[in-house]
Amino acid sequence: MRIRCFPLDRCGLAFVALAFASGLPGANAQGTAADNEDPYLTYTGVHDTVAGGASAAETYGLDELGCSTDGSCCGRGRRVYVEAEALILDRDNGSSRRPVVIDTSQTGATGELLSTRDTDFDVAGGARFLLGFQPPGCRWCSAWEIGYMGVYDWEGSSVVSGANNLGIPGDLGLASNDFFGADAVRVDYDSELHSAEFNCVRRVYCCCCCGKGTTVDVLGGFRYFSLDETFNINSTDFDEGTSDYRVETDNNLYGFQLGARVRRCHGCFAWLATVKAGIYGNDAEQSQSVTDFPPPFQLRTPRSSSGGDTAFVGEINLGLSYQVTKVWSVIGGYNVLWLDGLALAPDQLDFTFASDSGTALNHNGGAFFHGASVGVAARW
C-alpha cells in the first residue's frame, strides 16, 4: 500500500496560498470519483492515491477502538463533530498603574498605599464549545465551524486599614466625607469574557499512512468578543458612614480573524496547534457614580461615555487528544489569549472634581489570559 501526499515545500506553500484565495475551480478534476464523494479530502494541491486498487475502507480505517489504522485522522467519513471543554483561565491586571488609596497624613509618592495594579485576579472557570460540519460538494470550505467561549467571573480585591488617615487622591477626595480621613478602604475588580465565532475551514494539506497522519487547515471568519468589568472603591469612615466610587465598562469587539491549525495523529493519540488573530472594532462604553455621606447623596452626578476604536485579538491553543471509541475522544490543552484596545474599568477613574469629570473614555488597555482546558470530542 502506498499513499502519495502533496509536500509543503516553498513551491507547495505558494500553491496552497493561491488555492485558498482563488478556489481553483477546475482543480478537483484531478481527483477520482471516490475522492469527490468526500470533500474533506478533495482539496487543491492534495492528491491521495492508493496503489494496487485498495478500497477506501482498507486505506482509511479504524480498529475496534476507533484509533487510526491507516489515515482516518484525515477526516474521511466524519462530517459532523462537536467538542465541549471546561476552562480554567488566569488573567493579568493590565490596567495602567494609578494610585487609588493614599495616606492623607503624607504627601508625594510615599503616601500611596494602594494602586489599581494591586487587585490581582483569582483564576476563573468557564466553558468552550465547538460545532463543525463538513458540507458535501463545497468548493470553498472543507468545513464550517461555530464556536463559543465564556469565562464568567474573575475577581480581585484588596483592603487597606487605617485610623482616620485614608483617602482617595485628587480634588474628589478633598470634597468628600467618607473618601477623606477614612478608616478602611476596600477595592474590588470583577470581569467576565464571552466570545462567539463562525469560521470557514479549508484543508490545504493531508498526508495519512500506516496509522500516522498530518493535516494542515487554514480558517477565516467572523468573531465577537464581550468583556464586561466593574471596579469599585468602598470607603468607610467610622465617624460617618460608607460610600462607593463605582465604574463599569462594556467592551464589544466585532471583527474578522484568520488562522491555521496543524494536527498530527499516531494511532489513538493526536496533538494539534491552532493560531488565530484578527483586527476588531471595539464599541466600548463606561459609566460611573460616586456616593457620599449622608446616603444616598451623590457626590458627583452619574456620568457615562461611549466610543469606538480599533482592537486586536490573538489566540494560541495547544491540544492533545486520545481516541476512546470510534466516536468519542478525550481532549485537553493549554490556551493563551491576548486582547488589546480595551476600555478597562480602572483606567476610567477620574479623581478630579469638575463639571466634565468622569466623562472621558480610555480604551488603550490590554488583557492577557492563559490556562488549561479539558473535555470530550465526538465525530460522526
Domain layout of the chain by residue ranges = 10-379
* Long-range contacts (CB closer than 8 Å, 24 or more residues apart) made by 22-25: 23/139, 23/140, 25/139
Contact 378, 130 (CB under 8 A): no
Given this model, what pLDDT does residue 102 score? 95
Contact 60, 71 (CB under 8 A): yes
Given this model, what pLDDT does residue 259 score? 98
Given this model, what pLDDT does residue 137 score? 79
More confident: 250 or 140: 250
Instruction: Answer whether residue 210 shows pLDDT above 90.
Output: no
- For residue 190, the SS3 value is strand
Would you place residue 67 in the very low, low, confident or very high pLDDT band (cuts 50, 70, 90)?
low
One DSSP character per residue, 93-119 reads --SPP-EEEEETTS-SGGGEEEEGGG-
Instruction: Answer whether residue 147 shows pLDDT above 90.
Output: yes
Interior angle at CA 130, CA 220 and CA 257, nearest 5: 20
Q: In percent, how much of the chain has pLDDT > 70? A: 78
Nearest to 206 by CA among 324, 49, 27: 49
Given this model, what pLDDT does residue 374 score? 98
Instruction: Answer whether residue 6 shows pLDDT above 60.
Output: no
Instruction: Answer whether residue 47 shows pLDDT above 70.
Output: no
Would you place residue 200 in the very low, low, confident or very high pLDDT band (cuts 50, 70, 90)?
very high
- For residue 289, the SS3 value is strand
Given this model, what pLDDT does residue 75 score? 55
Cell numbers for 102: 493614599
Report which secondary-structure segment, H or E, holds 56. Answer: helix 56-59
Residue length of the chain:
380
Can you tell me which residue has the cell 484578527?
A: 278
Given this model, what pLDDT does residue 78 score? 67
Strand pairing partners for 297? 292
Instruction: Answer whether residue 16 shows pLDDT above 90.
Output: no
Nearest to 96 by CA among 74, 115, 77: 115
Q: Among 12-16, 235-239, 316-320, 334-338, which stretch is predicted with the lowest mean pLDDT?
A: 12-16
Number of H helices, E strands in the chain: 4, 12
Characterize the bridge pairing of strands 365-379 and 80-91. antiparallel
Burial 190-207 (b: 16+ CB within 10 A, else e): bbbbbbebebbbbbbbbb
Instruction: Answer whether residue 41 shows pLDDT above 60.
Output: no
Kindly report, residue by residue over 302-334, the tens digit of the pLDDT. Answer: 999 999 999 999 999 999 999 999 899 999 999
Instruction: Answer whether residue 35 shows pLDDT above 60.
Output: no
Contact 188, 146 (CB under 8 A): no
Average pLDDT of the residues of the chain? 84
Q: Among 1-10, 241-250, 269-278, which stretch is predicted with the lowest mean pLDDT?
A: 1-10
Kindly report, residue by residue over 346-362, the tens digit of the pLDDT. Answer: 999 999 999 999 999 99
Overall average pLDDT of the 117-138 stretch: 93
**Dihedral (CA of 118, 119, 123, 128) sign:** negative
Q: Alpha-carbon distance 272 to 262, whole Å?
A: 5
Sequence-distant (6+) residues with CB within 8 A of 21 are none
The gap between the terminal CA atoms of the chain, to the nearest Å, is 26
- For residue 26, the SS3 value is coil
Q: What are the backbone angles phi and psi of residue 220, rounded to the nearest 5°?
A: -160, 150
